[in-house]
Structure 1
Amino acid sequence: MVRTIRAKFVIGFFLIFCLSFLVLNVTLKEYIRSSNRSIITSDLIDLKNNSKVFVRQAFLINHFTNDNLYFDQMAEEMVGDLNRATSSDVSAYTVDGILLYSSNESKFAGRSTEDLRLALEGKTTYTITYEGSTGFVLYSYPVVIDGVKVGILRYAKDFSSLYEQTGRILNILFNLALVIFLAAFLFSYMLSRNITIPLVKLTRASTEVTKGNLNVRLRIRRKDEIGRLADNFNEMIERIDSQIATIGRDRDRLQSLMEQEKRFFDNVTHELKTPLTSILGYAEMIRENGEADRVFFDKGMTHIVDESRRLHGMVLNLLEISHRGASEENKRVDTGALLRDVCEAMDIRARRYKKRIVLAAEDGLFVLGQADRLRQLFINLLDNAIKYSAPMSDLTITGEKPATGATVRFTFRNPGQTLSAEQVTSVFEPFYSGDKRFKEEGSVGLGLSIVKTIMDDHNGTIHMDSSGGQTTVYVELPAAAKGGDG
């Protein structure tokens, strides 16, 4: 396609220049020829006027009753005088076209007699004979004395010098025009090449893009429209590449979320099905046997209550994931006191696992938030630390206010087997259930996702570090201004 454009450029410029050169050459030749005719005509008019004056004077001085007879008798003398006076070859003819005398018959021999024929008819005329760069003129007119035609004078004049001069001028103009047109054609060719080469590159690049290659770039360093077109093309490809990369990341993330969501619902279905099956089984057996077997009755009722509580807890956790606290008003909460209360309550659970909670929290750790949800935040973090810490270990909990006073910071440290970098990155995701080696029976992996939800609702930050046989969770919440409720 682009090669065709380049060929059209070249052929078009070539045809235009050839046609223009031809028209200019023909026009110049015609103009010079017309100019030469004007010069010759003017010169011949002067020649005729001078000759008429000379002939009339001769007739006045030597007047005869018969002018025709005098013209015949004086032809030789008159031709000689006119030849010297006009520097032209002259011939004298009778009114019937008979040659009386000629200063140089060879100049008239073998040439056209059209001018003589027209002069015999009473007309003044001339003919020009071109031979190469020479021009030879035959000029004839009737000699009229007192209204009577007495003879014919015919001149042969060489205008070769005029035609040689105009020929040289024409050659100079021809060569000059040829050089100018060649230079213009060369410039036009270079210009078309300068335009079409980038178009070729652009076409090849766009073809690569249509094939899916987005690594192609145009290397055109120009400051004109083509340069800007190349820059725009590169920027467009970069944006397309960026958008495709973003779409790819979003697609992979969406796929990962869908897989996690499927695992989550599979786990939830399994976890809900197990206690429900157990509750249903004990309930049917108790309905059939009643209190006949008191031991089995007490055991069944205890199992039903425990499983019902576990189901209740799982349902609350599921509801917490979608809860954003829009219906509860934020208040100024003493998180230090709240954390101490939670640690006291969770200490019994820790002792059951042969573990100990060590708390160091400053006073006056106030934040603007929802006390119940912040309590759940601490419960979930402590519960997670208790479940996944090493046996017989101490869990170190700290609460402090940094020097800036803009935030309140809490840390939850527990020794134990560390997590991989991939697990640390994904552990707060809503549907992440983690490695089955660290998963407690009855857990569906909702604890840390609930924590992340609560932190987002309170404009806080949370991150985890797991290395060197210890896992630490850092929690930072905006500190509440002094005063009443928000």
Structure 2
Amino acid sequence: MKWTIQKKFIVGYLILFTLAALIVDQVMKDSLGKNSQVMIANEVTKLQHTTREHIKQFALIHPPQADLFKEYGGTIAQELSRLHTQNVALYDSEGLFLYEAIAMEKPLLAENQAYQMNLEGNPNPELIAAFNNQAAFTRVDVPDGNLVYFSYPLYLHDQFYGVLRFTGDSTNLFTANDKVLTSFRVLVICLFAGVFIISTLLTRQIIRPLLRLTAATKKVAAGNYGVDVHVKTKDELEVLAMSFNDMQQNIQRQMKMLEQEKDRVVQAEKSRTAFFNNVTHELKTPLATISGYAQIIGEEDFDDPVFLRKATGKIRLESERLNRMVIELIELAKREMTPSLKKREAIQLLPLILSVSEDMALKAGQRQIAIDVTGEGFIVDGNRDELRQVFSNVLDNAIKYGVSGARIVVVMKDGNITVTNDSPPVPDRIVDNAFEPFIHTKGEGSSGLGLSICQQIVSQHDGTIAFDYDDGRVVVSIVLPMVEKS
């Protein structure tokens, strides 16, 4: 059997309440019993005082010649029985039974009247106590009620006359006690039922949100992270439900982040594989050219001065390209593994770009291309050599891949540098992946790593670089954070 919280609560409540009810019932019963004993003691004390005074007055009116009980015992017993509605028995000073008056108006006393006997061999404890100079009473339960036997020794003027034994009906007292006890038990049962019902309802109000939370937890464990638990109890359960919702939302966000990270890792692995393949291909091309020419001119019967001159030039060009590619690969790897730690300073970009343009003017002139620099200069916090490398690479690409006889326009404004040049159509594959290694190489003097290195340098300077092609024009935009003039 599955012990749910509600079952545990009900069983525990039943056990606790049953034990408490039994203990309280016993305490109540004992209290009523003690109270009855006190009431009976008070009654018999009053009875003793009243009857003693009555006999004292009777003795004054009817002075005995020798023994009061033997001469007037019957009359005294009858009067006391009539006055107090009890059976009254008289014993002389020697313990001999003299007379008993029966209260016939009390059927219980008449029905349970026992034959009186002398003190000798008498089992009644209260009678024995009375002849030992002690007033005492005994309660006896009979089928139809309760009897109280009371005996006390009678002394008048320090003379012992004998013992009076009263038999009274205390049924009403104990019946009242039983009614009180019964009413108390009914009250306890009603209280138990009421508390049980209220507790059950409260338990259900507590358990229902817990069941919702349990069901929601199972759904989350199964991978459903879009579960919300709505609890409006305005107590700790509502706080728990809100915490659960926050937790599962955090889990959902974390799972999305993990999925995105997984996609990035997969993409990075693809990029790494493509980079490796491209590196392998790009290195093979100059090596194959050098190896091919070297094999031809290395043959024993080779004797062609013109071809030798061509081969020597080609080997030199490919060797320079291979050397440049290896150097840029090493630079790219270093930048990917560790950020740039080179010293930075405040740099005026306009003089730097003008200097780079002058350096590139000779190469541009070979293709009849002019470089125009316009706009307002500004200051950036950066490394001069690295920024020179960026602008040199961008202008070199504009010269190399631009249209002969056109112009390259460099515009500077508010931290934005744009380099625009006319260009033959650029495939969308290159536009969308312009900064990927080897994406734009043609295998003719280019390593295909320049823009990728530029992107890393600009990123390390907290800037951005973008490549765009629109209607025959290539636009490279570089944004660098400006430094306020001091």
Residue 323 of structure 2 aligns with which residue?
Answer: 312
- 2:197 is matched with which residue: 180, 186, 194? 186
The offset of 1:11, in angstroms, is: 1.0
Equivalence for 1:52: 52
Residue 399 (structure 1) shift: 1.3
- Contact (CA 8 Å) 1:393, 1:415: kept in 2 or not? no
TM-score normalised by structure 2 residue count: 0.79
Q: Which residue of 2 aligns with 1:441?
A: 443
| Residues 274-303 of structure 1: CA deviation (Å, up to 9, x unaligned) | 222321332343344598321221121122
Counterparts of 1:412 and 1:114 in 2: how far apart (Å)?
140
Q: What is aligned with 2:390?
A: 377
What displacement does 1:10 show? Answer: 1.5
Query: Are positions 1:410 and 2:418 aligned together?
Result: yes
Q: 1:176 to 1:294 in 2, by over 3 A?
A: same
Q: Relative to structure 2, which stretch is displaced further, 78-87 or 24-33?
A: 78-87
Query: 2: distance between equivalents of 1:301 and 1:453?
Result: 36
* Alpha carbons 2:354, 2:373 under 8 Å: kept: no
- Residue matched to 1:472: 475
Structure 1 residues 103, 275: CA separation in 2 closer, same or farther (over 3 Å shift)?
closer
**Which consecutive unaligned segments of at least 5 residues does structure 2 have?**
none
How many Å apart are 1:304 and its aligned residue? 0.9
SS of the equivalent of 2:47 reads helix
- 3-state SS in 1 of match to 2:58: helix
Distance 1:240 1:388, change over 3 A: farther
Percent pairwise identity? 28
Q: Call closer, same or farther: CA 1:64–1:332 in 2, change over 3 Å.
A: closer
Aligned to 1:399: 411
The structural deviation recorded for 1:310 is: 1.8
Displacement, 1:245?
Answer: 2.5
Indicate the SS of the match to 1:212.
Answer: coil
Deviation at 1:452, TM superposition (A): 0.7
Residues 305-362 of structure 1 show CA distances to partners (whole Å, capped at 9, x for unaligned) of 12112213312322442356645665545144135325634435655xxxx5673523
Cα deviation, residue 366, structure 1 = 6.0
* Aligned AA (2:73): A
Identify which range, 143-152 or 238-247, moves more after superposition.
143-152
SS at match of 1:399: strand
Q: How many Å apart are 1:467 and its aligned residue? A: 5.5
Instruction: Give the equivalent residue in structure 1 for 2:26.
Output: 26
**AA matched with 1:33:** G
Gaps of 5+ in 1: none
Deviation for aligned residue 1:31: 1.0
- Specify the alignment match of 1:36 in structure 2: 36
Could you tell me which residue of structure 1 aligns to residue 83 of structure 2? 85
SS, match of residue 398 in structure 1: strand
- 1:34 offset after TM fit, Å? 1.6
Shift of the 274–439 alpha-carbon distance from structure 1 to 2, 3 Å rule, reads closer
Structure 1-normalised TM-score? Answer: 0.79
The number of aligned residues is 466
Residues 1:335 and 1:50: Cα distance change in structure 2 (over 3 Å): same
Match status 1:15 vs 2:15: yes
Q: Secondary structure at the match of 1:74?
A: helix
Higher relative contact order at CA 8 Å, sep ≥6: structure 1 or structure 2?
1
1:477–1:151: structure 2 CA closer, same or farther, 3 Å change rule? closer
Quote the offset at 1:264 in angstroms.
1.3
Of 234, 254, 257 in structure 1, the residue corresponding to residue 245 of structure 2 is 234
Partner secondary structure for residue 246 of structure 1: helix
Taking the aligned partners of 2:143 and 2:430, their CA distance within structure 1 comes to 102
- Residue 292 of structure 2 is matched in structure 1 by 281
Q: 2:258 is aligned with what amino acid?
A: I
Q: CA separation in 2, counterparts of 1:99 and 1:143?
A: 15
2:85–2:103 contact (8 Å) kept in structure 1: no
